[in-house]
């Protein structure tokens, strides 16, 4: 229970939410009033009246749920700011539950990362959100053209099993963080009541992978990988990378998919040059990156 209590407190601090009262013995945290933006007010309340922004307040309670689990109860209220006919000190309104789900997910992520820091080294292509109502992990964070979509996942998929093992809150990240190389895992998914198997390749990004210093995105129209950022004084900038370049090949790996992209990336080693075939304004050229040590925060 202490882990979740601490995670709740630290999450609120990181979100700049004022804490009015907190007592670990009762598990209760009460907040002061905090400002929310217009798009948040529209998502988080059941009010149809427009408002430029609003204010919120909530109570959070951490309670034992079973011998091995802890539950978070969140009761939030929101009101609109003074904007036309809406008074600055109007009544609080019921919520849609979106805020509570978002906050619970943030706290859960904090707990997971504290307990399993190596999970940040895994690339699955999606996020796994614990759904309290069904006590299962739900797939989120899938966008068009993403690695997660390529893997076969969809937002809302429910993870039932992995490699034939029933998935629980306790064993899921234990299983994932036992991965220390690129592996294929078989997920049994419930998708809107239909069961299906997804063979997903999970990439493990070793801590000693070299730093390149560029970012890419996959173009939805052409499915090609385009350089979107080249960091100042990075190995990529020194090699001649430019924003807008298209990556065609890394060493002998044709970059035709996210799988191929991560396959090539995880083969890189410090002190060993990497060659990239680029398309720049219709002309092809090879650029060589002299690899450097990983850049840790």
Same domain, 17 and 61: yes
184: tokens are 């294929």
Domain boundary among 112, 145, 176: 112
Strand partners, 37: 53
The total domain count for the chain is: 3
Give me the sign of the Cα torsion angle 237, 238, 244, 246: negative
Same domain, 84 and 128: no
Same domain, 103 and 8: yes
Same domain, 128 and 61: no
Q: How many CB atoms lie within 10 A of CB 44?
A: 23
| CATH code for position 17 | 3.30.530.50
Question: For every one of its 297 residues, what pLDDT tens digit does the chain have, with 9 covering 90 and above?
Answer: 778 888 888 888 888 899 999 998 888 999 999 988 887 878 888 766 565 678 889 999 988 877 767 788 888 888 877 654 444 455 677 788 888 888 887 887 777 777 766 666 688 999 888 887 888 899 998 999 999 999 999 999 999 999 999 988 778 888 887 877 788 999 999 999 999 999 999 998 888 889 999 999 998 889 999 999 999 999 999 999 999 999 999 999 999 999 999 999 999 998 899 999 999 999 999 999 998 877 655
Domain boundary among 90, 112, 134: 112
Task: Tell whether 29 is covered by a domain.
Answer: yes
Same domain, 76 and 148: no
| CATH code for position 171 | 2.30.42.10
Task: Tell whether 161 is covered by a domain.
Answer: yes
Q: How far apart are CA 9 and CA 5, in angstroms?
A: 6
Report the percent of the chain where pLDDT is more than 70: 91
How much is the mean pLDDT over the chain? 86
Q: How many CB atoms lie within 10 A of CB 53?
A: 15
Task: Tell whether 25 is covered by a domain.
Answer: yes
Which one, of 16, 70, 77, lies nearest residue 47 by Cα? 77
| Under 8 Å between Cβ of 197 and 207 | no
Which residue range forms the structural domain that includes residue 227?
214-289
Helices and strands, counts by H and E, the chain? 7, 18
Determine the pLDDT at residue 149: 94
Same domain, 6 and 108: yes
Task: Tell whether 159 is covered by a domain.
Answer: yes
294: tokens are 């990983």
Task: Tell whether 294 is covered by a domain.
Answer: no
Q: How far apart are CA 230 and CA 220, in angstroms?
A: 21
| Under 8 Å between Cβ of 247 and 222 | no
Domain boundary among 57, 88, 112: 112
State pLDDT tens for residues 252-275. 999 999 999 999 999 999 889 999
* pTM over 0.85, yes/no: no
Determine the pLDDT at residue 22: 92
């Amino acid at each position: 229970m202490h882990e979740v209590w601490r995670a709740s407190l630290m999450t609120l601090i990181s979100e700049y939410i004022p804490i009015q009262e907190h007592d670990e013995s009762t598990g209760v945290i009460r907040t002061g009033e905090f400002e929310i933006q217009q798009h948040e007010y529209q998502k988080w309340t059941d009010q149809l009246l427009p408002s430029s922004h609003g204010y919120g307040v909530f109570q959070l309670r951490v309670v034992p749920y079973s011998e091995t689990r802890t539950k978070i109860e969140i009761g939030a209220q929101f009101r609109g700011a003074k904007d036309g006919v809406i008074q600055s000190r109007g009544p609080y309104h019921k919520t849609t539950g979106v805020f509570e789900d978002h906050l619970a997910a943030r706290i859960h992520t904090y707990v997971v990362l504290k307990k399993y820091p190596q999970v940040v080294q895994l690339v699955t292509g999606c996020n796994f959100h614990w759904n309290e109502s069904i006590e299962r992990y739900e797939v989120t964070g899938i966008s068009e053209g993403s690695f997660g979509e390529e893997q076969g996942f969809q937002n809302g998929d429910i993870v039932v099993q992995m490699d034939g093992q029933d998935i629980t809150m306790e064993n899921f990240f234990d299983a994932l963080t036992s991965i220390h190389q690129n592996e294929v895992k078989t997920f049994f998914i419930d998708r809107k009541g239909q069961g299906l198997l997804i063979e997903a390749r999970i990439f493990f990004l070793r801590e000693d992978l070299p730093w390149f210093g560029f970012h890419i995105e996959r173009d939805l129209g052409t499915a090609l990988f385009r350089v979107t950022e080249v960091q100042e004084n990075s190995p990529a900038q020194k090699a001649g990378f430019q924003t807008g370049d298209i990556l065609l090949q890394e060493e002998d790996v044709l970059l035709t998919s996210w799988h191929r992209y991560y396959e090539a990336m995880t083969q890189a080693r410090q002190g060993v040059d990497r060659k990239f075939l680029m398309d720049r304004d219709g002309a092809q050229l090879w650029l060589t990156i002299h690899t450097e040590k990983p850049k840790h925060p």
